[in-house]
A and B are shown apart, each in its own frame.
Chain A
Amino acid sequence: MHIRRRAALGGLLAAALPGLQAYAQPSPATLLNVSYDPTRELYAAINPAFAKAWQAQTGQAVQIRASHGGSGAQARAVIDGLEADVVTLALQPDIDAISERAGLVAPGWRGRLPNGSVPYTSTILFVVRKGNPKGIHDWADLVRPGVGVITPNPKTSGGARWNYLAAWGWALRANGGDKDRARAFVAELFKHVPVLDTGARGSTITFAQRGQGDVLLAWEDDANLAVRRMGRDRLEIVVPSVSIVAEPVVAVVDKVADRHGTRALAEAYLRFLWTPDAQEIAARNFYRPTDPAVLARHAEQFPNLPTFTVADALGDWPAVQREHFGDGGVFDQIYKPGQ
């Protein structure tokens, strides 16, 4: 009986194999996208859309996996050997680090995709408790006595670096470009921070669920998500007089994609982010599309506030990174005792 069953099984397999092979051609490809924390929902929507488009175009099935975490921690994981085909991170220095420290991304990566490799942008807004009981309307209000500000640690969080630079940029403008006064403002701002979480999502939870602080500095997309999830009857968004253009960046991890033989797929995946379909998905997730037509369609959900880029306000990113967030940089000095 045993033998008969085995023979039957073998027959079944033999019959199925050619079918399987036909089904498997061309063989399905996989791609790993290593991304930062708040993009979970975004890429959960973009990945199936791309897989469909790619299969329609090439006939190849593709499986895209995404990994999320703090932007800096994700960059470090890639440097340490996480086999990412593409990275989609919160800010330029994190991909620069992968390029410079591990040589995995070719130098000049920002020139290979449109718009300096920035597929969608965001900005930094305030979230306050319903009715705005402390009357917080602009950056200056954050340092009033008795106001608690929730923001993560810029050393460990990409979003926190945008918060910090937005505050710095506003203070420069408000003080006629006086760096000492900008620094004094940012130092004062961090004296109002009762909890320094390690990541943006942590801060959102501290503010929204634990009820700490009076105002949360957040990515526009995270702010909208918090208000939607926690309820419009508890939280509201405040748009300051001016903020920063937060520019998340994307790149193919050249060495890994070449080793996996996924370069064409990886490049197509990133280029897909600039198509109207993907831009539409980005807009629906509260990322500002770089495609003006899509942005115009969603204009009502993106408050029209004056914004500045890091380059406008502070200079180029590597220098900003060193000066403000490097060891012994401005952020470290803010916490020196007696200052």
Chain B
Amino acid sequence: MRRPVLPGFGLATGVTGVYLGLLVLLPLAGLLAKAGTTEPGRAWALFADPRTLSAFRVSFGVSAGAALVSVPVGLLLAWVLERYRFPGRRLLDAAVDLPLALPTAVAGIALTTLYVPDGWMGRLLAPLGIAVAFTPLGIGVALLFVALPFVVRAVQPVLAGLDPEADEAAVILGATPWQAFRLVVLPPLLPAVATGAALGFARAVGEYGSVIFIAGNRPMVSEIVPLLIVTKLEQYDIPGAALLGAAMLLLSFVLLAGINRLQGRSGGRHAA
């Protein structure tokens, strides 16, 4: 192993360890310990319940959908912000972060007001037979709102580091614009896109505040796992809530580890 030029491995690792331990590992260990107190029979009944399964499908399915949609939209936004100079660019750039700062309940209430059947957007969509508020589609809109900044912010610095002369050269050498984008611009962006999408997905899975207002919260239709956890707590079923929380944690961990692996592979290929 090469010795790093800056000293302080012991101190740095110690601080990191204590920090992670207190803020992340300790609460998670508590969660898992609590989940472990459930009798296996009850745990099985909980996870075999069609309502639980439906909530997991809604939470993970819609979050994945929102993360996927945020990829092209986020790429486009990052492209516009990095490659063009226009009045109001800085304002738009700052606005991208707003969803991270705004209390998500506020976002949820605003989106619901817009998308109810007689709201500004809902009124336009209702004649087309599209209902957004109080359906899984509405959950998707709220999750897209919270996931989008992650893709933009992950892609932007990488895009800023790419020399526009490279894609100019590709076009001059006879590539179509699409080829230039696909073969020259996109490959170095891919790891950043994957990171952004993974962060956005993780954020969406855990989102509660905004979803609760727009979802309608109907069991088997638009109920998310975090709501199910709150419901369990209200019934004083703390082991049940912990079990659901632990399951979400595990599933998210497996998915994120998978994404990281994919990303490592694609990054490696690019470097080679």
Contact = CB atoms under 8 A, between A and B. Distances in A.
Interface of A: 70, 72-73, 76, 79, 97, 101, 153, 155-156, 193-198, 210-212, 325-328, 332, 335-337
Nearest to B119: A210
B219 A335 contact: yes
Contact of B234 (A72, A211, A212): A72
A104 B23 CA distance: 30
Interface in B193-252: 212, 216-220, 227, 230-231, 233-237, 240
Contacts of A70: 234
Given A76-B236, A195-B134, A153 B231 contact: yes
A196 B217 contact: yes
Nearest to B234: A72
Contacts of B45: 328
A101 B51 contact: no
Interface residues of B, number: 26
A170 B108 CA distance: 36
B61 interface: no
A196 B235 contact: no
Contacts of A155: 231, 234-235
Contact of A210 (B50, B113, B235, B237): B113
B116 interface: yes
A195 B119 CA distance: 16
A73 B50 CA distance: 26
A85 to B, nearest CB: 22
Interface string B79-117: 000000000000000000000000000000000110011
A179 to B, nearest CB: 22
A50 to B, nearest CB: 30
B216 A325 contact: no
Given A153-B231, A198-B217, A336-B51, 8 more contacts: A72-B234, A76-B236, A101-B236, A193-B218, A194-B216, A195-B217, A195-B218, A328-B45
A58 B81 CA distance: 69
Contacts of B168: none
Contacts of B217: 153, 195-198
Interface in B31-48: 45
Given A193-B218, A196-B217, A211 B118 contact: yes
